Amino acid sequence: MAKPNTHNNSNSIYPFSQTDANAGKKKYCRFKKSGIEYIDYKDPEFLKKFLNEQGKILPRRITGTSLKFQRKVAQAVKRGRHIGVLPFVADNFKGDN
């Protein structure tokens, strides 16, 4: 009995998820490409790119960031949440970006 392919339905949760269309596109780490070294936790507009509608941090397989910068993003997001710049939980607070 063939293994049911459960992978596909998980795509519907994430906004810009890995659809088959751009499956072939090589994902790259935007920080290595643009040479950003420090991620500012006080700048919500930039950090929102790494959050989904509920304000959760997007996984690396969706955003394609490298491990080193994913940790920096996660730390910056958590600091931003602590000082009230980013929400802990939100219902589509981001609008469409």
Partner 1 sequence: MEHQYESVVVLTPVMTEDQVKETINKYRAFLEKGGATIVHQQNWGLTKMAYQIQNKGTAYYTVLEYKAPTDLVSKFEVQLKRDESVLRFLSIVLDKHAVSYNQRRRNGELKSQQPKKAEA
Q: Which residues bind partner 1 (CB under 8 A)?
A: 37-38, 40, 42-46, 79, 81-88, 90, 93
Q: What's the min distance (Å) between Cβ of 34 and partner 1? A: 12
Residue identified by tokens 């994913």 is 70
3 state DSSP class of 64: coil
Q: Least CB distance from residue 82 to partner 1, whole Å?
A: 6
**Spatial distance between the Cα atoms of 23 and 47, rounded to a whole number of angstroms:** 24
Instruction: Give the nearer residue to partner 1 in terms of CB position, either 62 or 85.
Output: 85
CB of 45 to partner 1, least distance (A): 7
**How far apart are alpha carbons 87 and 70 in whole angstroms?**
19
Distance CA 22, CA 28 (A): 13
For partner 1, the closer of residues 58 and 76 by Cβ is 76
